[in-house]
Amino acid sequence: MTARSLLTVATALALGAALAACSGGEDPAPAPASEPAQAGVETPAPDTGDESASPSGPAPGDGAPDTALGWAAQPLDLDGEEYPAVTGGSAGETVTAADADELARHLAAEEPLVVEVAGEIDLDGAVEIGSDKTLVAAPEEAAELTGGHLVVDGAANVVVRGLALETDGTAVVVRGGAHHVWIDGNTLRDGGGDPLVGVTDGADHVTVSRNHFRDADAALSIGGEEEAPGALRVSVHHNLFDGTDTRSPRVRGGEVHVFNNLYRGAAEYGVESGHGAAVLVEGNYFDGYGLSVRVDAEAPGATVTRDNLLVDTAQPELFGTVDDPPYAYELDDTADVPDIVSATAGAS
Sign of the dihedral through C-alpha 341, 342, 347, 348? negative
Residue 68 CA to residue 86 CA, distance in Å, equals: 7
How confident is the model at residue 229, as a pLDDT?
A: 79
How confident is the model at residue 34, as a pLDDT?
A: 30
Q: What's the gap between Cα 290 and its chain centre?
A: 20
Q: Which domains, ranges and CATH numbers included, belong to the chain?
A: 3-78+144-344 (2.160.20.10)
How confident is the model at residue 35, as a pLDDT?
A: 32
Which residues, including other chains, have CB under 8 Å from residue 290's CB and lie 6 or more apart?
266, 267, 268, 269, 313, 314
Residue 163 CA to residue 215 CA, distance in Å, equals: 16
| 20 φ, ψ (degrees, to nearest 5) | -70, -40
Which residues, including other chains, have CB under 8 Å from residue 140's CB and lie 6 or more apart?
none
How confident is the model at residue 63, as a pLDDT?
A: 56
- Sheet containing 204-209: order of strands: 93-97, 113-117, 133-137, 156-161, 179-184, 204-209, 233-237, 255-259, 278-282, 302-306
Average pLDDT, consecutive stretches of 10 residues, N- to C-terminus, the chain (348 residues): 38 35 35 36 37 32 76 95 96 97 98 97 96 96 95 98 93 97 96 91 97 94 86 97 93 97 93 96 96 95 97 94 96 98 95
Residue 132 CA to residue 35 CA, distance in Å, equals: 48
SS3 of 303, please?
strand
Closest CA relative to residue 266, chosen from 281, 248, 245: 245
- Residue 159 contacts residue 184 (beta carbons within 8 Å): yes
